Amino acid sequence: MGLAAGIVCAFFLYTGDYRQGFLFWIINRILDGLDGAVAREGGKESDLGGYVDIVADFAVYAIVPLSLAAGKGEPALLIALSCMLAAFYVNAASWMYLSAVLEKRNASNPGVQGETAVIMPAGIIAGTETLIIYSVESSYLFPAPS
């Protein structure tokens, strides 16, 4: 459900309907925050579910800024997008590798709240910060038409 909301968000951002895009961005973030909790509560938690969830999250993290930049079609935005996505890839590689090391060492991470499919290292930027940064970035760079 969260992935679908993310795709709808990207569509609206690409077409320039930033208000609807922002609405579906918020819906995506809410659904992403609930999916694991609902699965655990219903006894449906699985490694496959955790994997699909993180892949869907990262797909949305890529398609949202891509849609914003592609919808504008300005070369400077596409260059900035390339730099941002490159930073995301480096960050994701670091985060995933640290997660694997923690699992290998049977470590726990008291800095991360909630249960997840794998041990996730605490990062400088987490879900709340991502929500705020994307929201401010989209409203500042792509204001609603007057």
Per residue in 119-132, pLDDT (tens digit) is 666 655 566 666 67
pTM of the complete model:
0.73
CB 63 within 8 A of CB 10: yes
More confident of the two residues 47 and 127? 47
- pLDDT surpassing 70 at residue 142: no
What pLDDT, on a 0 to 100 scale, did the predictor assign at position 117? 64
Residue 64 CA to residue 21 CA, distance in Å, equals: 9
Confidence of residue 141 (pLDDT cuts 50, 70, 90): low
- pLDDT surpassing 50 at residue 113: no
